[in-house]
């Protein structure tokens, strides 16, 4: 589909939040049980490397198809080039290359900024996310056992595994 990946602006937040909520409701996107406020999201994600995919078919308004953003994994200087990312695509736009476009943009912008590792934890049941990340060169570090307990949805109360994925840049920090 025809889309443009561009910087996330505060005005995109209502759509970003709604896509976040729909992802949470799948039960296989995150341990979080609710989307954060804009203020919390803004404080916990780096101001750079926050992107939205906009639908090119709609010219007079920004229609957000999906978003991606990164957080620092550590305050220690030696890990300044390691970030953790999230990627969410609206229900109606999944399976059409939006997630790939968002992650490709994130890989390019983080590498340009000297970030060498992007990581993410994915539920083993999230086959779409695992396929997307593999397609973008992420490798499976390992499976974390009963790492946290679900607090929402059909699996509330269940301890769940996650798969830790990482993409180590071949061009930064060689």
Ligand X SMILES: CC(C)(COP(=O)(O)OP(=O)(O)OC[C@H]1O[C@@H](n2cnc3c(N)ncnc32)[C@H](O)[C@@H]1OP(=O)(O)O)[C@@H](O)C(=O)NCCC(=O)NCCS
Q: Using CA atoms, how far apart are residues 170 and 162, in angstroms rounded to an integer?
A: 25
Candidates 40-48, 54-62, 82-90, 146-154: pick the segment binding ligand X (CB under 6 A): 82-90
* Sole binder of ligand X in the list 3, 8, 51, 98 (CB under 6 A): 98
Does 26 help bind ligand X (rule: CB under 6 A)?
Answer: yes
143 vs 164: CA distance, rounded Å: 6
Size of the site for ligand X (CB under 6 A): 23
Sign of the torsion formed by the C-alpha atoms of 33, 125, 42 and 99: negative
Paired strand residues for 165? 120, 140
With CB under 6 A as the contact rule, the residue among 94, 105, 107, 116 that binds ligand X is 94
- Cα–Cα distance, 171 to 169 (Å, whole number): 5
141 makes contact with ligand X (CB under 6 A): no
Specify whether the CB–CB gap between 4 and 53 falls below 8 A: yes
The answer to whether the CB of 140 falls within 8 A of the CB of 124 is: no
Interaction pattern, residues 99-128, with ligand X; x per rule: CB under 6 A: xx-------------------x-x---xxx
Taking a C-beta distance cutoff of 8 angstroms, is the pair 19, 90 a contact? yes
- Is 18 in a helix, a strand, or coil? helix
CA dist 152 and 66 (Å) reads 23
Nearer to ligand X, 80 or 125 (CB): 125
Residue closer to ligand X (CB basis): 28 or 82: 28
**Residue least distant from ligand X (Cβ):** 99
148 binds ligand X (CB under 6 A): no
Please state the closest distance from residue 101 (CB atom) to ligand X, in A: 7
Check residue 132 for interaction with ligand X (CB under 6 A): yes
**Residue 34, interface with ligand X (CB under 6 A)?**
no
Q: Which residues bind ligand X (CB under 6 A)?
A: 23, 26, 28-29, 87-89, 94-100, 120, 122, 126-129, 131-132, 135
């Amino acid at each position: 589909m025809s889309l443009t990946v561009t910087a996330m602006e505060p005005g995109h937040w209502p759509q970003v939040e709604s896509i976040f909520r729909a992802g949470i409701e799948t039960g296989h996107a995150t341990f979080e049980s609710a989307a954060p406020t804009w203020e919390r999201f803004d404080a916990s994600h780096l101001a750079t490397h926050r992107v939205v995919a906009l639908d090119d078919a709609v010219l007079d308004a920004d229609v957000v198809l999906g978003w991606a953003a990164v957080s620092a994994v550590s305050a220690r200087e030696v890990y300044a080039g390691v970030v953790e990312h999230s990627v969410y695509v609206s229900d109606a736009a999944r399976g059409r290359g939006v997630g790939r476009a968002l992650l490709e943009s994130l890989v390019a912008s983080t590498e340009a900024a000297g970030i060498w590792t992007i990581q993410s934890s994915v539920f083993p049941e999230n086959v779409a996310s695992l396929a997307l990340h593999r397609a973008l060169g992420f490798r499976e570090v390992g499976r974390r056992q009963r790492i946290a307990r679900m607090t929402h949805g059909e699996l509330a109360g269940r301890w769940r595994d996650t798969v830790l994925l990482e993409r180590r840049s071949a061009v930064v920090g060689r």
